[in-house]
Chain A
């Protein structure tokens, strides 16, 4: 049975922001990680990839800066939500393995607009984003100002942040695109809509909230 996808999950501008950020991040990953693949390091010869890396980072950092004032309340909520953790999140972690390995849907705690796992991803983006920016700025602009030790650990910090962010990105893509349970996730990031059934079963708390709002 195909249900009509009628519930708005993401606004158009949020979808745009998501994909602009995604493309910038992918370019950053490619131009950065290429240095660590044997045989491909030569692509960086001449330093062109570093220039592309720096252009991409302007977009990557610029996108949220442009997005924020137009969606101020939502953005603040996003940050607050990302940083607020409680007992329900711990419960979610306990139930997550069974849920993600195909256990019964009903056993999972009803989730808000985003679930605890998505919150983890947001937290990783926030934390690594800050690390990327600080260490990146040091390497880009303050090479001659800082001590060699600071520069060296900036290189390491950038790389550790990459490991964390990239691994979580893989999880994010897998769950969004491939996981058998997340049938409408990817499409909702394209046109912003999900079906009632999907909203109810994946984001029960959020569904109740928006239904209540509609009834008012």
Chain B
């Protein structure tokens, strides 16, 4: 099943399937399929969705975004950011740079949660710790996390980080929070505010799409590979990238998809609820009829 591709037509099909699932939910009066319902409510970016636009051609690898993220989120400084051996995403690294040599030049792609519109992590999160914020980003409430790690296994970008102890697996997930406290109060994300060159821009998603396209148009005059990444991918990312090479060079899949298992999961959830309800209704009916016939037949 090729649901959730960057092709808009497919997104529409996907959404109508979700509509159907939701209608079925209403019919049984049970809204247990939280993921489909929540995705439906957020199925496309709204006008005031917030986002970031990361322009790799403007990044000079100063690591201020990395430092600002650590500072604002009070994460311990454990690794010295070294371009030769850059820190990777981990429990205390929520954003980092991925240095890439492009021709003779070095560029870095800022790497963190991309805040998908149709986010596999939200769909599979059993406890509601991951959810869609009304401002568009993927909100994470750590106090609700059970540490199951499904998000880490289903994310097409490998963003959520989880250190698990082999026996108990007690350990909570960590990822970029989109600086919820800041952006809810009209401030920029810490990384965008710290960016020295304007490589990370923060603003309304709609404006940033326009701006990203303009940047790509101007880059395209000298570079045929320039492209805007994230406009449509996974329903539209809330962190988009102006790239000067194919996405894979920057560690981004060119056609990211939420794993098909996500959809299968939504379906089976309803199958489970349906089977249990059918069984219980069947018992009631069976009891009444069996009892009546047995009394009548005197073979009680």
Contacts and interface: CB of A to CB of B under 8 A. Distances in A.
Q: Which of A49, A100, A102, A103 has the most CB of B within 10 A?
A: A102
B126 A44 contact: yes
A104 B299 contact: yes
A145 to B, nearest CB: 12
Given A152-B154, A166-B272, A45 B164 contact: no
Contacts of B164: 143
Which range contains the number of A residues in contact with the other chain?
Answer: 35 or more
B170 interface: yes
Given A101-B289, A102-B290, A102-B297, A45 B261 contact: no
B246 interface: no
Contacts of B291: 102, 180
A94 interface: no
B272 A47 contact: no
B259 A149 contact: yes
A174 interface: yes
Interface string A152-182: 1101100110110011001100100011110
Contacts of A48: 170
A174 B268 CA distance: 24
Interface in B268-300: 268-269, 271-272, 275-276, 279-280, 283, 286-287, 289-294, 297, 299-300
Interface in A139-156: 140-141, 143, 148-149, 151-153, 155-156
A163 B268 contact: yes
B271 A174 contact: no
Contacts of B172: 47
B290 A101 contact: yes
B127 A36 contact: no
Interface in A55-108: 100-105
Given A42-B144, A102-B297, A180-B294, A166 B269 contact: no
Contacts of B268: 156, 159-160, 163
Given A155-B265, A163-B275, A180 B259 contact: no
Nearest to A46: B146
Contacts of A104: 297, 299
Contacts of A2: none
A35 B289 contact: no
Which range contains the number of B residues in contact with the other chain?
Answer: 35 or more
Given A104-B299, A152-B261, A50 B272 contact: no
Contact of B283 (A143, A149, A178): A178
B76 interface: no
A41 interface: yes
25 contacts: A35-B126, A42-B128, A42-B144, A46-B170, A47-B146, A49-B146, A51-B170, A100-B286, A100-B290, A101-B286, A101-B293, A102-B297, A143-B149, A148-B154, A149-B259, A149-B261, A152-B154, A163-B272, A167-B279, A170-B279, A170-B283, A178-B287, A180-B287, A180-B294, A181-B290
Interface of B: 31-32, 34, 124, 126-129, 143-150, 153-154, 164, 166-172, 259, 261, 264-265, 268-269, 271-272, 275-276, 279-280, 283, 286-287, 289-294, 297, 299-300
Given A44-B127, A45-B129, A152-B259, 6 more contacts: A35-B146, A42-B127, A48-B170, A105-B299, A174-B279, A180-B287
Interface of A: 35-38, 41-42, 44-51, 54, 100-105, 140-141, 143, 148-149, 151-153, 155-156, 159-160, 162-163, 166-167, 170-171, 174, 178-181
